[in-house]
Amino acid sequence: MRFEIVTLFPELFDALRTGLLGKAQDAGTIDVEAVTPREFTTDRHRTVDDSPYGGGSGMVLMPGPFAEALDHLDEARGGNPTRRVLLTPQGARFSQAHARRFSELESLTLVCGRYEGFDERIRGLVDEEVSLGDFVLLGGEAAALAVIEATARLLPGVLGNEQSATDESHAEGLLEYPQYTRPEEFRGEKVPDVLRSGNHAAIARWRRKESLRRTLERRPDLLEAAELSKEDRELLEEIRAEP
Ligand SMILES: C[S@@+](CC[C@H](N)C(=O)[O-])C[C@H]1O[C@@H](n2cnc3c(N)ncnc32)[C@H](O)[C@@H]1O
């Protein structure tokens, strides 16, 4: 899958050379291309921003260099389709469902703002708008990195263990069950006996129940939206009946 980024700071995406995403780039599973709108300016100072019409603080990103950068990426891709996503605190909140949908694309183009934000006409150049959450960053780059990481890890071959992407928080609309490793006892806290029992059915039941419990306690909103089986509802009743 190809990830394209339009950013004033392409060097921030060198971070994707680290760890599993670095390996995925070496293996050709993902391909990352960051371009700066400054390359598509015509003046000596390579200006990409200007003061807002109507007055006010800060600088606004001009549409021209962004449009040119997007055209350049289209050409470099040989006309193959992409989905253009603007990172903005005004967008739909990014979720695992977005990551899943994006991971089915051949190419994703992420457009990062800076300063006071974009000229409104940049919105007309993209297919959708995504926010990392209800807070304001200095720029879209940290949000774009999060989108790339969440999306790329769902691609076949990126994670060492394929199971990891299906058996985890948000994969099925629930939070993940508690995980333990050695030692068996740490500062007086023991690993639950069932996990050392070797009884796979009992372990699976315990994990499902704890996943439901955790979601009920921390994110009841997710539980309302999750598809629950008859067994899940019985487990929830058991949890609710506990003292
Ligand atoms: C300082 S912000 C501009 C915020 C803008 N004035 C507003 O109120 O919507 C600069 C850039 O950072 C990025 N950004 C900031 N917060 C973000 C968030 N929560 N999610 C995604 N991108 C964000 C956007 O690309 C934005 O254009």
What is the Å distance from ligand 1's center to 123 Cα?
13
Q: Which atom of ligand 1 lies closest to the CA of 143?
A: 21
pLDDT of residue 158: 95
Per-residue pLDDT, 135: 98
Residue 162 pLDDT: 60
Please identify, by atom number, the ligand 1 atom nearest to the C-alpha of residue 133.
19
Q: What local confidence, expressed as pLDDT, does residue 242 receive? A: 97
The single-letter code of the amino acid at 52 is: P
Q: What is the pTM of this model?
A: 0.95
pLDDT of residue 234: 98
Mutation to probe ligand 1, out of 49, 51, 87 (largest number of atoms < 8 A from CB) = 87
Q: Which atom of ligand 1 is the closest one to the Cα of 136? A: 16
pLDDT one-digit tens code per residue, 87-132: 999 999 999 999 999 999 999 999 999 999 999 999 999 999 999 9
Map out the domains of the chain as residue ranges. 2-152, 167-241
Q: Probe ligand 1: pick from 7, 88, 122, max atoms within 8 Å of CB?
A: 88
151 burial level (CB within 10 Å; 0-12, 13-18, 19+): buried
pLDDT digits (tens, 9 = 90+) for 69-88: 999 999 999 989 999 999 99
Tokens 């959708």: give the residue.
128
221 vs 82: CA distance, rounded Å: 33
Domain 167-241, CATH class in plain words: mainly alpha
- Can you name the CATH fold of 2-152? Alpha/beta knot (3.40.1280)
| Spatial distance between the Cα atoms of 147 and 139, rounded to a whole number of angstroms | 14
Pocket of ligand 1 (CB under 6 A): 87-90, 112-114, 116-118, 131-133, 135-140, 143
pLDDT on residue 171? 83
- pLDDT under 70 in the chain at which residues? 162-163
Structure tokens at 186: 């740490």
Residues 110, 3 contacting (CB under 8 angstroms): yes
Q: Which residues pair with 111 in a beta bridge?
A: 6, 86
